[in-house]
Amino acid sequence: MSSYDVIVIGAGPGGYVSAIRCAQLGMKVAVVEGRETLGGTCLNVGCIPSKALLHATHMLHEAEHNFAEMGLKGKAPSVDWKQMISYKEKTVGQNTGGIEFLFKKNKIDWLQGWGSIPEAGKVKVGDEVHDAKNIIIASGSEASVLPGIEVDEKTVVTSTGALTLPKVPKSLVVIGAGVIGLELGSVYARLGAEVTVIEYLDAITPGMDAEIARQFQKMLTKQGLKFTLGAAVQGVEVKNNKATVSYVVRKDESEHTITADTVLVATGRKPYTTGLGIDALGVALTERGQIKTDASYATNVPGIYAIGDTIEGPMLAHKAEDEGMAVAEVIAGQKPHVNYGVIPGVIYTHPEVSNVGETEETLKAAGRAYKVGKFPFLGNARAKANFAGDGFVKLLVDAQTDRILGAHIIGPMAGDLIHEICVAMEFGAAAEDIARTCHAHPTYSEAVREAALACGDGAIHV
């Protein structure tokens, strides 16, 4: 048995970042992790492996569609799926190994195994009970599957199974048009699978600015993905290694079926707190099963904190990381602050889609007067040269003060471009502040500046 200032349960982006920050602030820290490798969902079966497959298949798409135009002649590459999976796994290994290195560097103990909290101040791992002045729950989330659907991770898979399919399916049905479904759907569409996405709502990517969502759907349709929107999935039946999805189209209540080699259930995620013993401890939950915390990430049980996917807010790695740093600083007696109004979201398809802050819909609902500044990537020289002229940057600013309220980008490197706007928003900047900042030419960033100019006297290159 050992004694720690802090024991963190879960080594995902929330947990490992909080542990490192605690160590940096002089605390004695241990992390309990039941997986064989560190890094949580994100590094093992989430952000990192999905981005590796998105990268590899985007390269294939470029070779098939744009190389000849640039004078790069020759046969398009063929797909060695085993090698692609091994590239993905190597990438995961480099990243999870990196966290192990960081733990050693920061003298953080990794208590291997599944942990529980028998009482406040104690964490049990296997047969050992460790003392902890503070406990941080960072146990993450798991796929949330519709009732009536049985996942076997072979024919009917969650994202975890979809990242390790033994071969590329000829047909794939994706249930749910959210970020994970569209990213993995894109991967398999690029590899030649016939991909059909079924979504309950009438638009893809719920919560996203509606204009961007419509444009995004058009682009994905051009890439071969098919969409059935406004359809309620009733169940999935597996026979002879094929899965048949039955669904009802909501507007006319007509019943349909579609059969595919693989079905990916991508209908969201829910907090994972199984086995922690928080019920017995009386840790309060929200109606949606998230751990309730105050602004300092404290639960209702003294000495127990919770962060990341286990609590409210967007289920994103960088949100978990920010909370990880903040909770460590809280425990150290500091007064950190996470600005939930400036948390970017990114979809790593091609083109990428990113957003931060308000949408036109949320501004209208709040009755706020706003202006829109838009600039298409077709007017951006770099984008045109790189076959990336589809899409646009859209800034939403306060009609009176010009203060930036939100931004939405669909286009090349949208996931990187958004951060200039995030920083501007953190500083309470106006669109004019971006418009008057010199941007290097030729870069995609110029499109952001042009959208800012469009909020004032006008963009130049349209």
Ligand X SMILES: Cc1cc2nc3c(=O)[nH]c(=O)nc-3n(C[C@H](O)[C@H](O)[C@H](O)COP(=O)(O)OP(=O)(O)OC[C@H]3O[C@@H](n4cnc5c(N)ncnc54)[C@H](O)[C@@H]3O)c2cc1C
Where do contacts with ligand X occur on this chain (CB under 6 A)? 9-15, 32-35, 40-42, 46-47, 50, 114-115, 138-141, 159, 180, 272, 275-276, 308-309, 315-318, 320, 348
Residue 443: how many other CB atoms lie within 10 Å: 16
Confirm if 404 and 429 have CB atoms less than 8 A apart.
Answer: yes
DSSP assignment of 192-212: T-EEEEE-SSSSSSTTS-HHH
Shortest Å distance, C-beta 310 to ligand X: 6
| Listed residue (417, 416, 450, 420) closest to 435, CA to CA | 450
Residue nearest to ligand X (CB): 140
Question: Beta 29-33 vs 3-9: how paired, if at all?
Answer: parallel
Q: List 353's β-bridge partners, or say none.
A: 347, 410
Q: Residue 437 corresponds to which amino acid?
A: T
Shortest Å distance, C-beta 182 to ligand X: 11
Shortest Å distance, C-beta 270 to ligand X: 11
Sign of the four-CA dihedral 85, 240, 191, 249: negative
Which strands form 156-157's sheet, in the order they lie side by side? 156-157, 262-265, 171-175, 194-198, 226-228
Phi, psi of 249 (to 5 degrees): -75, 120
Q: Give dist(CA 75, CA 251) in Å, integer.
A: 46
Q: List 115's β-bridge partners, or say none.
A: 125
Residue 2: how many other CB atoms lie within 10 Å: 13
Tokens of 462: 């349209």
Q: Give dist(CA 347, CA 282) in Å, integer.
A: 37
**Among 55, 318, 337, 441, the one annotated catalytic:** 441
**CB of 292 or CB of 439, closer to ligand X:** 292
Tell me if residue 408 is catalytic. no
**CB of 217 or CB of 290, closer to ligand X:** 290
Residues known to be catalytic: 441
